[in-house]
Amino acid sequence: MTPTCPGPTLGVVGGGQLGRMLAEAASPLGVDVVVLDPTPDCPAARVAEQVEGAFDDPDAVRALAERADALTLEIELADPDVLESASAEYDVPVHPSPDALRTIRDKLVQNGAFADAGVPVPEFVRVDGADDLADAVEALPGSAAMLKARTGGYDGRGNRPVEAGDDYGAALAEVGAGDGGALAEELVDFEREVAVIGVRGDDEVRAFPLTETVHEAEIMRETVVPARTSDAVAKRAREVALDALDTLDGRGVFGIELFETSEGEVLLNEVAPRPHNSGHWTIEGATASQFEQHVRAVLGWPLAPAEARAPTVTANVLGDVSDPEPARLRGVGGALSTPNAHFHWYGKREVRPLRKMGHVTLTRADADENDLLAEARGLRDELTFTTDDHDPR
């Protein structure tokens, strides 16, 4: 698609924070965005048009395709068959490809595809019931496993560690395996979790610098760039990420999550066929954000360099409430008044326990990554959704 201004209209399946940030990045390029989302007045609706409907509703996807010059997605709940049908009916390209989505949305299929391509992944087995899980725990190293639902898991949901003697039926129910089944992976003894944001354009590939991702209770809390690891590990992580990218079809940004093991090896964890939380640092910390790169890539436009400007840390703002309630964040002034700090609000109307509601980014050329991380955590910890009648902020 030849770059022009005004540009084409991009249709996005999903209107959460990723759709919102895609629309914000598309606007300076002259690209309009229409999102499909079932939530009325979804986060992206404040900066883009919205088609209201389910992600896999054929009529809603056709309505999106009818208004767009190209289609993409920001959530794996998109249905690849429905996308493929709408793409053919309206002669609208869709990227990443429906085949890539088919591979990624089922974690068992995803692991098998990468293993077959020679990409290093943790040892894994298929689990269809409690007896399978018992056998898997016994067979996998350490008599323990990471149990994952094959579809639908995110932000720590849909997976949990399992050890010998656990209630296997209850574990399967907890991850929501249901009729879709599950897989059990080797419980990796990792030194740290890292990620690479890979970008495939029309005839070019980019990879952002290695990101260290800090998790607690399976939910990403912070990212650190550059990752606090050796040059050799960073080089190997890039190689593994690009090999994984070669396994998948279509243009766009792919969030590639990896483990650095205690022995210094790199294993692929999972891949997301879209911009990813581990790449939010690129908005202020890179020469072009992952969102701008995704827009360029899916339209077949030239990619920008994928280089870091300076050491950069992000800290996610999660819901600190016990029950869902209308979202009102307090304590924002500290982040706004701190030099080189950038506050991002995702526009969600309701806060829920541990729901991702925003993030704070700190970037500074002369900073030590540990000091920057401590400062970002301090700013994030000042933010709260809980009510304090004595707090005027």
Q: Tell me, what's the pLDDT at 156?
A: 63
Q: According to DSSP H, which parts of the chain are helical?
A: 17-26, 58-66, 80-90, 98-105, 107-116, 130-139, 168-175, 231-247, 282-285, 290-299, 332-336, 369-381
Pair 15, 37: CB distance under 8 Å: yes
107 is in an annotated binding site: yes
SS3 content of the chain, % helix, strand, coil (to 5): 35, 30, 40
329 is in an annotated binding site: no
DSSP element (H, E) containing 154? none
d(CA 281, CA 263): 28
235 is in an annotated binding site: no
**Predicted confidence pLDDT, tens digits, the chain (393 residues):** 889 899 999 999 999 999 999 999 999 999 999 999 999 999 999 999 999 999 999 999 999 999 999 999 999 999 999 999 999 999 999 999 999 999 999 999 999 999 999 999 999 999 999 999 999 999 998 889 999 999 877 666 788 899 998 999 999 999 888 667 899 999 999 999 999 999 999 999 999 999 999 999 889 999 999 999 999 999 999 999 999 999 999 999 999 999 999 999 999 999 999 999 999 999 999 999 999 999 999 999 999 999 999 999 999 999 999 999 999 999 999 999 999 999 999 999 999 999 999 999 999 999 899 999 999 999 999 999 987 644 444
**pLDDT for 3-61, tens place per residue?**
989 999 999 999 999 999 999 999 999 999 999 999 999 999 999 999 999 999 999 99
Quote the DSSP letter at residue 157: B
148 is in an annotated binding site: yes
212 is in an annotated binding site: no
d(CA 210, CA 220): 16
**CATH of span 123-186:** 3.30.1490.20
- What's the pTM value of the predicted model, to 2 decimals? 0.94
Fold category of 190-381 in CATH: D-amino Acid Aminotransferase; Chain A, domain 1 (3.30.470)
Angle, vertex CA 320, rays to CA 318 and CA 326, nearest 5 = 90
Residue 386, classed as helix, strand or coil, is coil
Rounded to the nearest 10 degrees, the angle between the axes of helix 107-116 and helix 98-105 is: 110
356 is in an annotated binding site: no
317 is in an annotated binding site: no
292 is in an annotated binding site: no
Angle, vertex CA 207, rays to CA 81 and CA 153, nearest 5 = 45
How many CA atoms, within 13 angstroms, populate the side-chain half-sphere of residue 192?
Answer: 18
**CATH of span 9-94:** 3.40.50.20
d(CA 342, CA 118): 40
Residue 47, classed as helix, strand or coil, is coil
Residue spans of the domains in the chain: they are: 9-94, 123-186, 190-381
Contacts of 243 (CB under 8 A, 6+ apart): 117, 118, 119
Contacts of 180 (CB under 8 A, 6+ apart): 106, 149, 150, 151, 152
How many CA atoms, within 13 angstroms, populate the side-chain half-sphere of residue 143?
Answer: 4
CA diameter of the chain: 62
181, two tokens:
């089944």
d(CA 303, CA 306): 9
How many CA atoms, within 13 angstroms, populate the side-chain half-sphere of residue 96?
Answer: 29
185 is in an annotated binding site: yes
Instruction: Indicate the residue type of 172.
Output: L
DSSP element (H, E) containing 269? strand 266-272
Q: What are the Cα distances from residue 262, in Å, to 187, 192, 195, 391? A: 12, 8, 16, 45
137 is in an annotated binding site: no
